[in-house]
Structure 1
Amino acid sequence: MSKKKKDWKTEKGRVLNMSSEERRKEYRRSEYVPLDQINTWKQSQSTEVTEEEEGKDLLRDKVSLYKGDITILEVDAIVNAGTVLCY
């Protein structure tokens, strides 16, 4: 195994074993937005849940809308989907 791969795996293991407080000490910026402070799409809507929707695993329970600097979100990864053109 190459040294680069070994170093990456070692760092991954170290970070995964850290508590939230330990991780926060290593942030480059002092300001961050924890994920639990961002409302899901369902929480940001003022509509009531119908009986038919109750207990279902809906997309609006998983998707969050956030307007602002995404680099201060306390998440493990940010994925940006690029545009793909197929002819």
Structure 2
Amino acid sequence: MSKKKKDWKVEKARLLGLGLEERRKEYSEYVALDKIATWKKPEKSKGKEEVEEQDLHPLSDKVSLYKGDITILEVDAIVNAGNRGP
């Protein structure tokens, strides 16, 4: 195994062994996901109709829009779906 590949695996193991606060110290800057608002509608106590509407969209608390540098988001992966055509 090449030295470069071995060094990468050692660094990966080191980072995976760190706790959340220790890992955050390694970042130059980051945006935690709990700081990004979701599409979930604010809870209102006006009636049953609005509660039923919220129940129809269970993923609304997991979907967000973020405008900015996505490389500083504190996430495990960033995926870009690139298609060759329509």
Q: Which has the higher strand share?
A: 1
**Deviation string, structure 1 residues 31-84 (Cα, Å, up to 9, x no partner):** 321111112222xx4574417817x7x332322111122122122222111123
| 1:65 and 2:65 matched | yes
Segments of structure 1 that go 5 or more residues without pairing to the other structure are none
Q: Percent identity?
A: 66
Give the alignment's TM-score, normalised by structure 1. Answer: 0.63
C-alpha root-mean-square deviation of aligned residues, in Å? 2.9
Q: Which has the higher helix share?
A: 2
* Corresponding residue for residue 17 of structure 1: 17
* Corresponding residue for residue 80 of structure 1: 80
- After TM superposition, give the deviation of residue 11 of structure 1 in Å: 2.6
User: Would you say how many aligned residue pairs link Structure 1 and Structure 2?
Assistant: 79
Give the alignment's TM-score, normalised by structure 2. Answer: 0.63
* Corresponding residue for residue 38 of structure 2: 40
Segments of structure 2 that go 5 or more residues without pairing to the other structure are 44-49
Bigger Rg over Cα:
2
